[in-house]
Amino acid sequence: MYSQRKHPSRVPRKAGFSLIELLTVIAIISILMTVGAIGIGSLLGGKGITSGVASAESVFDEARSTAVSQRTKARVLIDVTDPSKPTYLRRMLVAYEELDNEGNPKTDQWTISNRGLMLPDQVYFSQNYSKKSLTSGGGLDKMNLNNVARDYRGEYYYYEFNAEGICRPPSTSDAVGSEKPGNATFVLGTGVREPNSSEPRVTAATKRDFGGFVIWRNGRTSVFRNPNQINIPENVSKF
Give Dmax (Cα) for the chain.
106
Domain range for residue 170? Answer: 46-230
Q: What CATH number does residue 201 fall under?
A: 3.55.40.10
Distances from the Cα of 95 to the Cα of 62, 74, 143, 218, 227, angstroms: 10, 6, 12, 19, 30
Domain membership flag for residue 109: yes
Q: Report yes or no on 136 lying in a domain.
A: yes
Tell me if 139 is assigned to some domain: yes
Q: What is the CA radius of gyration of the chain?
A: 27
Residue 177 lies in a domain: yes
Q: What is the dihedral of CA 121, 123, 125, 130, to 10 degrees?
A: -160
Residue 145, classed as helix, strand or coil, is strand
pLDDT higher than 70, residue 7: no
Higher pLDDT, 12 or 86: 86
Q: What is the pLDDT of residues 41-68, one digit of tens each?
A: 444 445 789 999 999 999 999 999 999 9
Looking at the domain assignment, is residue 30 inside a domain?
no
In a domain, 9, yes or no: no
Instruction: Give the residue-averaged pLDDT of 86-107.
Output: 91
Is residue 56 assigned to a domain?
yes
Helix axis angle for 19-44 and 47-70, nearest 10°, is 60
Q: Which amino acid is at 31?
A: I
User: CA 213 → CA 19, 127, 141, 164, distances in Å?
Assistant: 47, 14, 18, 21
Task: Report pTM.
Answer: 0.76
Answer whether residue 5 is part of any domain.
Answer: no
Q: What does 96-117 look like in DSSP terms, one character per residue?
A: EEEE-TTSPEEEEEEEE-S--E
Residue 122, amino acid: Q
Number of compact structural domains in the chain = 1
Answer with the residue of higher pLDDT: 43 or 24.
24
Please tell me the chain's helix, strand, coil percentages from 3-state DSSP, rounded to the nearest 5.
25, 25, 45
CA distances from 165 to 63, 98, 106, 112, 190 (A): 8, 16, 20, 17, 30
Query: Does residue 57 contact residue 147 with C-beta atoms inside 8 Å?
Result: no
Average pLDDT, the chain: 80
